[in-house]
């Protein structure tokens, strides 16, 4: 009986280890035109986008004057995103709510999908399915979008006079001010990618070393930290946009 119990526990542990495993450096490629893309990232990104679009359709399908529970939830999310945008950008936050909201919701749902959906059960010829934010290319793309929005906000508000900030308060700081704008997307990208990857690696190590009673609470803690990472990225993006519209700080 003890042998049977040990065998069952071993099988359960090995199964969870395979599900929680991380394959590094392996990708499933598609050829689209003359470009080679990571297919697993596209697949999981499409799933996340479908979840967000489905939620948006449900939110606006039948709005009520007296909100129901579902409508209350969606309105709460919208108010939360508006508060983040207004706090960081200021009075002219309105046009930027969709952009900040898209960043926050995409990263949030991507992170949670990686933690909750059993992607690794689906076998690919190479690599594995995981959260889109688990790929450095996704986080770099999100960071570059933020940089583009950052420059667009400054140029649309101040025109070419926006570039005068690089020589403030003294022209001696020109190289440092330019370097600052290059490090902002780099910081956003590696902060998000590094934290998501580190969380997965911690779970893998714990599953392989200790009983399941320890890794499972850590997995739930990962859900919390995943949400925090989405909030940090969206907050910093809004802060950078607000800074470009107000001036150099």
What's the confidence (pLDDT) of residue 34? 78
What's the confidence (pLDDT) of residue 5? 44
Average pLDDT over residues 48-72: 83
What is the per-residue pLDDT across 117-169, written as a single tens digit (0 to 9) for each? 766 677 767 667 777 888 888 888 888 888 888 888 888 888 887 777 777 77
Tokens of 238: 């809004």
Using the predicted structure, report yes or no on whether residue 101 has a pLDDT greater than 90. yes
Calculate helix-pair angle for 215-246, 69-89, nearest 10 degrees: 50
Domain spans in the chain, listed from the N-terminal domain onward: 68-116+132-248
Average pLDDT over residues 89-96: 88
Task: Name which residue leads in pLDDT, 131 or 79.
Answer: 79
Average pLDDT over residues 71-95: 89
Using the predicted structure, report yes or no on whether residue 14 has a pLDDT greater than 70. no
What's the confidence (pLDDT) of residue 96? 92
Task: Name which residue leads in pLDDT, 131 or 85.
Answer: 85
Residue 249 binned pLDDT confidence (cut-offs 50, 70, 90): very low
Task: Name which residue leads in pLDDT, 4 or 73.
Answer: 73
Residue 214 binned pLDDT confidence (cut-offs 50, 70, 90): low
Using the predicted structure, report yes or no on whether residue 114 has a pLDDT greater than 50. yes
């Amino acid at each position: 009986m003890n042998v049977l119990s040990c065998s069952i526990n071993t099988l359960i542990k090995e199964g969870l280890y395979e599900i929680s495993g991380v394959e590094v450096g392996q990708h499933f490629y598609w050829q689209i035109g003359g470009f080679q893309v990571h297919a697993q990232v596209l697949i999981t990104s499409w799933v996340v986008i479908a979840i967000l679009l489905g939620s948006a359709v449900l939110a606006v399908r039948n709005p009520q004057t007296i909100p129901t529970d579902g409508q209350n939830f969606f309105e709460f999310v919208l108010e939360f995103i508006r508060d983040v945008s207004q706090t960081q950008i200021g009075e002219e936050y309105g046009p930027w709510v969709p952009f900040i909201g898209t960043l926050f919701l995409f990263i949030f749902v991507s992170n949670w999908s990686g933690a909750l959906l059993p992607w690794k059960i689906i076998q690919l010829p190479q690599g594995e399915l995981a959260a889109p934010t688990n790929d450095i290319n996704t986080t770099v793309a999100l960071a570059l979008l933020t940089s583009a929005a950052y420059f667009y906000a400054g140029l649309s508000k101040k025109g070419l006079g926006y570039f005068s900030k690089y020589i403030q308060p003294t022209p001696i700081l020109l190289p440092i001010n330019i370097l600052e704008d290059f490090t902002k997307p780099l910081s956003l990208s590696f902060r998000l990618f590094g934290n998501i990857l580190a969380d997965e690696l911690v779970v893998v190590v714990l599953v392989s070393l200790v009983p399941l009673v320890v890794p499972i609470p850590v997995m739930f803690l990962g859900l919390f930290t995943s949400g925090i990472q989405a909030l940090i990225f969206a907050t910093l993006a809004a802060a950078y946009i607000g800074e470009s519209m107000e001036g150099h700080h």
